[in-house]
Structure 1
């Protein structure tokens, strides 16, 4: 009843209590279901306020204990990705914020509503209040000149809560900014003098009262020009990457592309399933060199410069919430038309204009183009399968065999979180069609998968959650805290680890930058970590299931065993021994 009343009025009334009580009430009123919490003395108000809210039968976020902040922020990202809801983190002053680590970078690029909160060290004199510098010498060491500078270039908004602030309003404001398109992280710090301070009964506006911004529809003249260009095109291509963050875009984009006979390719970056992976219009080959019209929809990096880029005389349109990519300092990708717009509204506007403008001859041309695209897609998939070595007992497992096996064992219930590099070609093997069934790490920081998979399992408990990652990124992801959380909260997920004991950056990439250089002749020192950790044993130490696979014959059975464990409620890790980069062993 409380939620319905608050939603209807947009006003949340909080009884007499503390600022901490108001913060928790505002998170709940703003739609935050989960607070991913890593302990700190100045944020223990969350524990008290949430326990108090439960005892008093008042709404509060679920407090999710995270034993590492990096995993906690990635878990928030995974939860918000599968639910579409805002989530929040709570960490210990600057140290906990720094422990979020590169997940802060990932959050900036994910386009998800994340409220990062942290304690701020007290500055009140010892004995002046219950939240002052009373508990130890460390309180002096925690204060920095600008704690917010750690995250400021990665967030949309930041604020330090003060005694004269309305705490409910400030939390609602944080959620409003995070949840308005383009969505992104915000940062709120809370000193203990403030969180523990008493407050009278009061009311504050919630997110629904403040209101989220409505993303724009595309310019009608631009839509008309774009459709005319597509209808006249000889070989148009659509580039997708992030529009599937809104699941509603996927079926409507399929209808539009089928109507226009428009082939689809993934951009150089990829984050959300934006088009069914096995659809005949989806091309595995991203070559744009013969395209005469190129449309990039909600794509950060549409293509790699070079021989596969569009020709100079191709007409290029870019559509999305931020078509100039203002968060990227150097950005040279050209366009003849840039439309700032919501992807779903753009798809609908293009469909409406196509229905109006298409003549019978246009429909015939589109049908022929769709048939040709289907044949090309089929040939590309056949060529990929032909590259997969035959399964031979005792041979080394090939990375392509892993992708092929995953496609065989996963069904429509699976949600895949892909933290691998492009050469593993996971999206090319998968058959995922459902919106929200595939996510790729949205940034460039490895280590997203373990925490994100745990968060996804919390958000979609009836689905098979499968994380796929290389061993280097897996180590970056501090997996033990994620596995512990999965066991503790009965939020299971399967992690498939490509164990090649190598970093591609320090081997393959190095060799391309310094061909036959000194480092290559010295066997890539700095590129290998061999012998590796025993990831299966590590998983078992956390209470999860662990298995190591070295024989290709055991690859598919091992993946099925891991899935059975997950469906029985237990996290699982299947570590697959592969050749090292630039080596055959």
Structure 2
């Protein structure tokens, strides 16, 4: 008897009807990043048949189904209809840092007495390439998400009760032909034990975490297979497959969504930048694993960026062995290990963990890894609030001010600050301004928003009589002719108001509060809503009109500049960015509402904000630091993070200078982008070198000798023969690339680049040679 467990939706039915079906015993077809195969390798042992249908592919995810009926030889596998990842191969086990996978499946129909498993089949060998189940195979790692009818894997059970990826597993081990089979079989308490919505990191099965780390970072460091089961870390990944092995019975297996990826990076700076981008988009901490002291040092300025950008990333590195006579497992056995034995490796990084190889190779009892730690009494630290006195003092100052101003720097990292910030600004007509922001902190179109700056003169500072410095590292720079007006009141609200990670930082203030921005804004909004009698409605109304007028003038000034540059055919960053903004609005399905912008334009930082004018919380991010080279790697991480967080970005755009582009190690970054299917558009504002160092010199010696010479003479220029920046990305990652230097070419080039990303699903790099 067939029991129907689930009915297909109308959309799925249409997809099935229009899908491609395999019927031959060994038929295969391309399925995006995968190959779908029938693989009826054991059909001769029974009677029956099977077909498999590709329903749809979307990015890194595939929907498919297989329909089978088999009889006779109930202990023999008849087939393994499966998806095989086309690019997840060729890496050594020791190099795999993460392998996130999602698989949602169910039986649309199944007969009574069905005998079948639903499983991953992962192959390793001594060679970097090789077909599954061949002479090149050394190990077959299976992960059974279901096993019905009393079936068992190859070999015998050697361990039980393993806790991996939030589930309980039993481990089986045994030989098959010329390879060893290790099978993790689901053993959750449900009857029957099954996982139909599986979301995990496959690396959790490759590696087991050492003692206390187990409870924090999802089984990443100690290699369970390497250490406990003798799988050499030099083994190469040859294939990742996912499918079902039927023995007897009838069923329709429907895989509604499957994806798997292994994330690796051939450069440490790019890796940490990608981790930062991932965390900036998801809000989840990241973990980066690098190679001993040399790998740590190669992280370079990316450590500065995650620190100053307040991005939670943990860095873990191995350390050279301390023993050298073979007395311990893991002793020195290769010549570089003597030079890599740093005297004080711990001093290299801030939040930094490292372990000697002997420790990582130490054998320990299974019970240590399986020990349960009750985390119910380990709560997170609650965000701090303003004191009642501070709330009253700041609120009354805002009510009595003629021109109150809130300076914003990092508040947009928490998108929940947007509603109370906007509501407070509207309730009291408070001007909003972004000072050296690391992220968009307020909608650019809001009438109370008066602009942004990265240093320089800010005339609002000497006009405001009440200023709230909210989560801002550099509110203004005194040496740029910025001074408070006489009698101005300043209030500092910050999670780190004393800037303890900075050598020197000070602003004269009435009150300094260590408080969370979201909590503080909600407190101030609450008192404003509860105390209408203390608010001068006419004063607030007049301020609102003035702010709206000034905001409109600001936008009109930007528009006028763009029109003037176009009319005079001046190839300036402002024109490039304005043209880009209009094209994104016109071409993308969301009209720019679901575009993610990564801004590392450095000397054009404020122009990028002013002429892109992001509105959506979280839609424009920066590194938060001053070490160049963040954006290219961050674009890959941010794209992967958007997939993880289910943020439906229809376009990711990177804006960089030519110097920043080279710092970003484009060869590694675009290789990663192609490998992990994270297409994005890169706009290079190419001014022929590093403008920022020249600007720094001019700030101190405006009429000095250096002010009169070329960038090449100053060693800040890339001319006269500049690199072909776009072709680096083409060579490394198959990107589309083009250089433009004429205004007449700009609009069509930008539109073509956007279409490449949206339609061809690959990176595009547009090198815009702007006037220096």
Structure with more of its chain in helix, by fraction: 1
Paired residue secondary structure (1:529): coil
User: Which residue of the partner structure matches residue 771 of structure 2?
Assistant: 579
User: Which residue of the partner structure matches residue 324 of structure 1?
Assistant: 498
Cα distance in 1 for partners of 2:402, 2:274 equals 45
User: Which residue of the partner structure matches residue 158 of structure 2?
Assistant: none
The answer as to whether partners of 2:444 and 2:615 remain within 8 angstroms in 1 is yes
Cα displacement string for residues 189-232 of structure 1 (whole angstroms, at most 9, x for unaligned residues): 12222222222223253877633222211111101100000000
Cα displacement string for residues 507-556 of structure 1 (whole angstroms, at most 9, x for unaligned residues): 33323322332223343421211121101211110211111111212223
The answer as to whether partners of 1:33 and 1:87 remain within 8 angstroms in 2 is no
Rate the CA distance shift 1:536–1:121 in 2: closer, same or farther, 3 A. same
User: Which residue of the partner structure matches residue 728 of structure 2?
Assistant: 538
Paired residue secondary structure (1:482): helix
Paired residue secondary structure (1:279): coil
Task: Give matches, 1:319-468, under 5 Å.
Answer: 319-359=493-533, 362-388=536-562, 390=564, 395-410=569-584, 411-421=592-602, 423=604, 425-461=607-643, 462-463=648-649, 464-468=651-655
One of 430, 447, 468 as aligned partner of 1:295: 468
Task: Give matches, 1:132-143, under 5 Å.
Answer: 132-134=331-333, 136-143=334-341
The answer as to whether partners of 1:389 and 1:398 remain within 8 angstroms in 2 is no
User: Which residue of the partner structure matches residue 39 of structure 1?
Assistant: none
Rate the CA distance shift 1:124–1:55 in 2: closer, same or farther, 3 A. farther
Paired residue secondary structure (2:613): coil
The answer as to whether partners of 1:80 and 1:86 remain within 8 angstroms in 2 is yes
Cα distance in 2 for partners of 1:106, 1:279 equals 29
Query: Is residue 258 of structure 2 the alignment partner of residue 84 of structure 1?
Result: no
Cα distance in 2 for partners of 1:46, 1:438 equals 44
Rate the CA distance shift 1:26–1:49 in 2: closer, same or farther, 3 A. farther
Task: Give matches, 1:481-520, under 5 Å.
Answer: 481-520=668-707
One of 117, 120, 124 as aligned partner of 2:316: 117
Give the superposition deviation at 1:387. Answer: 2.2
Cα distance in 1 for partners of 2:205, 2:566 equals 65
Rate the CA distance shift 1:129–1:397 in 2: closer, same or farther, 3 A. same
- The TM-score with structure 1 as length reference comes to 0.83
Cα displacement string for residues 250-281 of structure 1 (whole angstroms, at most 9, x for unaligned residues): 122111111111110011x2102111112111
User: Which residue of the partner structure matches residue 276 of structure 1?
Assistant: 443
Give the superposition deviation at 1:393. Answer: 9.3
User: Which residue of the partner structure matches residue 146 of structure 2?
Assistant: none
The answer as to whether partners of 1:69 and 1:100 remain within 8 angstroms in 2 is yes
Query: Is residue 339 of structure 2 the alignment partner of residue 146 of structure 1?
Result: no
Give the superposition deviation at 1:456. Answer: 0.5
Paired residue secondary structure (2:599): strand
- The root-mean-square deviation of aligned C-alpha atoms, in Å, is 3.5
Give the superposition deviation at 1:130. Answer: 3.1
Give the superposition deviation at 1:63. Answer: 4.2
Query: Is residue 432 of structure 2 the alignment partner of residue 264 of structure 1?
Result: yes
User: Which residue of the partner structure matches residue 113 of structure 2?
Assistant: none
The answer as to whether partners of 1:19 and 1:198 remain within 8 angstroms in 2 is no
Structure with more of its chain in strand, by fraction: 2
The worse-fitting range, judged by mean Cα deviation, of 74-83 and 476-485 is: 476-485
The answer as to whether partners of 2:325 and 2:331 remain within 8 angstroms in 1 is yes
The answer as to whether partners of 1:34 and 1:64 remain within 8 angstroms in 2 is no
The answer as to whether partners of 1:70 and 1:99 remain within 8 angstroms in 2 is yes
One of 182, 187, 193 as aligned partner of 2:352: 187
Cα distance in 2 for partners of 1:397, 1:468 equals 16
Paired residue secondary structure (1:409): helix
- The TM-score with structure 2 as length reference comes to 0.63
Cα distance in 1 for partners of 2:348, 2:397 equals 46
Cα displacement string for residues 10-43 of structure 1 (whole angstroms, at most 9, x for unaligned residues): 99989999999432898786476999xxxxxxxx
User: Which residue of the partner structure matches residue 362 of structure 2?
Assistant: 197
Give the superposition deviation at 1:390. Answer: 4.0
Query: Any runs of at least 4 consecutive aligned residues in structure 1 with deviations exceeding 3 A, and if so which?
Result: 10-22, 24-35, 44-51, 54-57, 204-211, 306-309, 389-396
Cα distance in 1 for partners of 2:307, 2:282 equals 18
Give the superposition deviation at 1:355. Answer: 1.3
Give the superposition deviation at 1:489. Answer: 0.5
Paired residue secondary structure (1:317): strand
The worse-fitting range, judged by mean Cα deviation, of 214-223 and 77-86 is: 214-223
Q: Which structure 1 residue ranges, 5 or more long, are not aligned?
A: 2-9, 36-43, 156-185, 581-585
Rate the CA distance shift 1:33–1:196 in 2: closer, same or farther, 3 A. closer
Cα distance in 1 for partners of 2:380, 2:328 equals 37
User: Which residue of the partner structure matches residue 130 of structure 2?
Assistant: none
Task: Give matches, 1:172-251, under 5 Å.
Answer: 186-201=351-366, 202=368, 203=371, 205=373, 210-251=378-419
The answer as to whether partners of 1:391 and 1:553 remain within 8 angstroms in 2 is no
Cα distance in 1 for partners of 2:399, 2:566 equals 50
One of 257, 274, 277 as aligned partner of 1:75: 274
Give the superposition deviation at 1:394. Answer: 10
The worse-fitting range, judged by mean Cα deviation, of 426-435 and 22-31 is: 22-31
The answer as to whether partners of 1:278 and 1:430 remain within 8 angstroms in 2 is no
Rate the CA distance shift 1:307–1:468 in 2: closer, same or farther, 3 A. same
The answer as to whether partners of 2:399 and 2:534 remain within 8 angstroms in 1 is no
Computing the radius of gyration over CA atoms, which structure comes out larger, 1 or 2? 2
Rate the CA distance shift 1:522–1:274 in 2: closer, same or farther, 3 A. closer
The answer as to whether partners of 2:566 and 2:575 remain within 8 angstroms in 1 is no
Aligned residue pairs total 530
Rate the CA distance shift 1:26–1:259 in 2: closer, same or farther, 3 A. farther
Rate the CA distance shift 1:119–1:229 in 2: closer, same or farther, 3 A. same
User: Which residue of the partner structure matches residue 743 of structure 2?
Assistant: 552
The answer as to whether partners of 1:289 and 1:311 remain within 8 angstroms in 2 is yes
Cα distance in 2 for partners of 1:378, 1:75 equals 37
Cα distance in 2 for partners of 1:234, 1:195 equals 63
Q: Which structure 2 residue ranges, 5 or more long, are not aligned?
A: 1-103, 105-164, 172-183, 185-203, 222-229, 244-259, 453-457, 585-591
Cα displacement string for residues 430-472 of structure 1 (whole angstroms, at most 9, x for unaligned residues): 2322111111220111111111111111111441111111101
